Amino acid sequence: MARVIVDVMLKPEILDPQGQAIARALPRLGFSGVSSVRQGKRFEIELEGAADEAALAEVRKMAETLLANTVIEDYSVRVEG
């Protein structure tokens, strides 16, 4: 058993109005010193077996196919633990 994390973020050049709204809300709540916020998605994928190279290749394929829209999003894959 292994857990693999896939993080999906809008590409830097794509406007993130949700992140901007969060960044604007923070000072109102008394949090200072934040210059910007980008919002993304985190997927926790539990594998039946070990997170070997073949399994990670499969997870990257999942990310390319479904989890991220690579037209507008970047993704990264890492093993947790």
Give the interface with another protein as residue ranges (CB under 8 A): 10, 13-15, 17-18, 21, 66-67, 69, 71-72
**What is the rounded CA–CA span in Å between residue 29 and residue 19?**
16
Give 16 or 51: the residue with its C-beta nearer to another protein.
16
Give 54 or 66: the residue with its C-beta nearer to another protein.
66
Give 50 or 72: the residue with its C-beta nearer to another protein.
72
Cβ of residue 27: shortest distance to another protein, in angstroms?
18
Question: Coil, strand or helix: which one is 27?
Answer: helix
Cβ of residue 50: shortest distance to another protein, in angstroms?
27
Cα separations (Å) of 68 from 11, 15, 24, 39, 65? 11, 16, 26, 14, 7
